[in-house]
């Protein structure tokens, strides 16, 4: 087995290739890293959204790609929201 760089769907990652049959194999760690890179590729670099009025409050609508990649529809996902008024920043971390 030889450590190689392999490309699938425009995403490059480490893998092992058998010298004899040329089969490419991912270890579990390599597959996880590759999967994350692939998911990251699904996302745009940034999204510009307007706040949406919901009752007396406001929310933001997450695009489908973000919902998929971060499992926002799992029902178990919690968001950690932190504000920095000086930097006009609202930071959302998926827990």
Among residues 21, 81, 86, 95, the one that binds Zn ion under rule CB under 5 A: 21
Tokens of 46: 């940034």
Core vs surface per residue 75-89: b (16+ CB within 10 A) or e: eeeeeeeeeeeeeee
Cβ proximity to Zn ion, 3 vs 21, nearer residue = 21
d(CA 55, CA 84): 25
H or E stretch including 41? helix 28-42
The minimum distance between CB 8 and Zn ion, in angstroms, equals 19
The minimum distance between CB 65 and Zn ion, in angstroms, equals 37
Among residues 2, 10, 20, 74, the one that binds Zn ion under rule CB under 5 A: 20
Cβ proximity to Zn ion, 20 vs 74, nearer residue = 20
* Interface with Zn ion, residue 2, by CB under 5 A: no
d(CA 71, CA 95): 11
Which residues lie near Zn ion (CB under 5 A)?
Answer: 18, 20-21
């Amino acid at each position: 087995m030889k450590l190689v760089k392999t490309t699938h769907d425009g995403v490059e990652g480490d893998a092992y290739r058998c010298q004899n049959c040329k089969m490419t194999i991912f270890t579990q760690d390599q597959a996880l890293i590759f999967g994350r890179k692939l998911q990251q590729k699904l996302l745009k670099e940034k999204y510009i959204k307007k706040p949406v009025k919901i009752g007396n409050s406001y929310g933001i609508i997450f695009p489908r790609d973000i919902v998929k990649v971060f499992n926002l529809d799992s029902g178990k996902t919690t968001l950690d929201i932190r504000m920095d008024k000086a930097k006009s920043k609202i930071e959302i971390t998926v827990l």
